[in-house]
């Protein structure tokens, strides 16, 4: 059971190496900051501070792109809204729950998340302009199956009496695995920071500043802190990590579970080998006279080896059958941690059973060889 669990997790870990998170993790530094309500009590002041922080980050040496956003992948925070696509009942009986990101125009360049259709945000997406949004590919497929989502309207985030609830989809972005490589992407949508709903300034007080560089991202920690401090000395940044570190953090539990089950499986296999060796060695000792008689009556060395191996493999086969049955039930607990592999994957189970029998054969080989070279005359004299 341990070996099957370890095998499934190892196969899952290999599969994760080929899963794309939806953005380029290399060369990205992220940091969080919170705008205290005492100093940033109105949307204008808050929006201006975010703009200045983004501008300061973009001007750091070595930075190719920057953004300020309400949520980054594998980070804390975030929020969800129920969105109503155009053409669906407006009474709320149909909606798509999606993750919201408020972003400045540089988000997709900083993250290198592709715009599959349409365009990204620009500085022309102002508060007084047409209300726009960008949706993820998953959201577009759910909201407008078989259609081009660009140009369609979606209602969200603001009351009908404001006249601002309907927003035009101007772009479709690639899906992002925001909760880790092992978790399927969720529907997501993006609103330009300049068009953030009034209520959003109450939803979000903590934001991320993200910079992309061709240097070591950690070399920008000091300059970024200094840049933010020049804007507001009382505004510290925290949770400063590269996207590589955030990604590694989401895999830490899976790696620990894989290592733990692998170590337990190896220990169990070693104990099984020692046990099989001991039992078969004892079996050969107890039946030395019988083996001598068999050889005196014409039994061949190969026949004696088969006798000993059959004695060893019968309980191994029974144990393997019981273990497979137990594994089929127990490994369902691991289903949430598996990627591109079934909890009852036949290839993994077959490989484990083959390994178990291989270890049993190796453990039995020594006693079987000693039995095959038994001197019949000595065995009979002892009898």
Per-residue confidence (pLDDT) for residue 225, from 0 to 100: 94
Query: What does the alpha-carbon distance between residue 122 and residue 125 come to, in Å, rounded to a whole number?
Result: 6
* More confident: 61 or 370: 61
Same domain, 229 and 271: no
Query: What does the alpha-carbon distance between residue 235 and residue 194 come to, in Å, rounded to a whole number?
Result: 21
Per-residue confidence (pLDDT) for residue 288, from 0 to 100: 66
pLDDT band of residue 81 (cuts 50, 70, 90) is: confident
Same domain, 206 and 258: no
Residue 346, token pair as written in the block: 């036949």
Same domain, 197 and 302: no
Per-residue confidence (pLDDT) for residue 287, from 0 to 100: 67
Please compute the mean of the pLDDT values over residues 280-302 and round it to a whole number.
71
Same domain, 339 and 368: yes
Same domain, 261 and 228: no
DSSP conformational letter for 80: E
- Considering its fold, how many domains does the chain have in total? 2
DSSP conformational letter for 195: G
Per-residue confidence (pLDDT) for residue 161, from 0 to 100: 63
Same domain, 373 and 326: yes
Domain ends where: 235, 268, 302? 235
- For the chain, give the mean pLDDT: 85
Same domain, 221 and 262: no
Per the CB < 8 A criterion, the answer to whether 73 and 24 are in contact is: no
Residue 112 lies in a domain: yes
Same domain, 224 and 258: no
Please compute the mean of the pLDDT values over residues 274-279 and round it to a whole number.
79
pLDDT band of residue 381 (cuts 50, 70, 90) is: low
**Between vectors from CA 224 to CA 220 and to CA 228, what angle results, nearest 5°?**
180
Q: Tens of pLDDT along 213-241?
A: 999 999 999 999 999 999 999 899 999 99
Same domain, 82 and 190: yes
Same domain, 98 and 161: yes
Range of the domain at 86: 35-235
Per the CB < 8 A criterion, the answer to whether 373 and 29 are in contact is: no
Per-residue confidence (pLDDT) for residue 139, from 0 to 100: 95
- Chain Cα centroid distance, residue 240: 21
Please compute the mean of the pLDDT values over residues 4-33 and round it to a whole number.
87
Same domain, 75 and 126: yes
**Between vectors from CA 235 to CA 214 and to CA 222, what angle results, nearest 5°?**
30
DSSP conformational letter for 23: S
User: If phi over 0 gives left and psi between -120 and 50 gives alpha, with beta otherwise, what is residue 164?
Assistant: alpha
Please compute the mean of the pLDDT values over residues 198-213 and round it to a whole number.
89
Same domain, 69 and 142: yes
Per-residue confidence (pLDDT) for residue 377, from 0 to 100: 63
Domain ends where: 201, 235, 269? 235
Residue 72 lies in a domain: yes
Residue 23 lies in a domain: no
Residue 207 lies in a domain: yes
Residue 18 lies in a domain: no
Residue 199 lies in a domain: yes
Residue 241 lies in a domain: no
Per-residue confidence (pLDDT) for residue 76, from 0 to 100: 79
Residue 24 lies in a domain: no
């Amino acid at each position: 059971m341990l070996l099957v669990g370890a095998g499934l997790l190892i196969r899952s870990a290999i599969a994760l190496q080929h899963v794309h998170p939806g953005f380029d993790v290399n060369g990205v530094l992220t940091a969080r900051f919170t705008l205290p309500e005492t100093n940033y009590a109105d949307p204008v002041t808050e929006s201006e501070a975010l703009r200045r922080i983004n501008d300061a980050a973009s001007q750091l040496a070595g930075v190719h792109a920057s953004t300020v956003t309400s949520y980054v992948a594998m980070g804390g925070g975030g929020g969800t809204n129920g969105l109503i696509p155009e053409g669906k009942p407006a009474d709320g009986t149909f909606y798509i729950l999606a993750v919201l990101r408020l972003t400045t125009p540089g988000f997709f360049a900083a993250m290198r998340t592709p715009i599959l259709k349409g365009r990204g945000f620009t500085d022309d997406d102002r508060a007084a302009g047409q209300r726009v949004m960008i949706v993820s590919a998953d959201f577009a497929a759910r909201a407008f199956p078989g259609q081009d989502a660009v140009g369609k309207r979606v209602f969200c985030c603001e009351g009908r009496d404001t006249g601002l609830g309907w927003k035009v989809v101007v772009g479709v972005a690639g899906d992002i695995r925001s909760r880790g490589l092992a978790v399927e992407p969720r529907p997501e949508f993006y609103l330009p920071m300049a068009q953030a709903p009034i209520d959003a300034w109450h939803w979000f007080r903590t934001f991320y500043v993200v910079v992309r560089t061709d240097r070591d991202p950690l070399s920008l920690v000091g300059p970024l802190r200094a840049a933010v401090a020049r804007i507001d000395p009382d505004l510290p940044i925290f949770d400063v990590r590269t996207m590589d570190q955030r990604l590694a953090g989401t895999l830490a539990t899976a790696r620990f579970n894989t290592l733990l089950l692998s170590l337990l499986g190896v220990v169990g296999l070693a104990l099984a080998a020692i046990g099989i060796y001991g039992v078969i060695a004892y079996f050969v000792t107890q039946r030395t006279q019988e083996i001598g008689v068999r050889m005196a009556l014409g039994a061949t060395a190969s026949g004696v080896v088969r006798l000993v191996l059959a004695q060893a493999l019968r309980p191994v086969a029974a144990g393997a059958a019981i273990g497979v049955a137990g594994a089929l039930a127990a490994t369902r607990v691991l289903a949430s941690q598996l990627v591109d592999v079934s909890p009852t994957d036949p290839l993994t189970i077959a490989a484990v059973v083959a390994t178990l029998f291989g270890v049993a054969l190796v453990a039995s080989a020594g006693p079987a060889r000693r039995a095959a070279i038994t001197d019949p005359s000595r065995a009979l004299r002892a009898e």
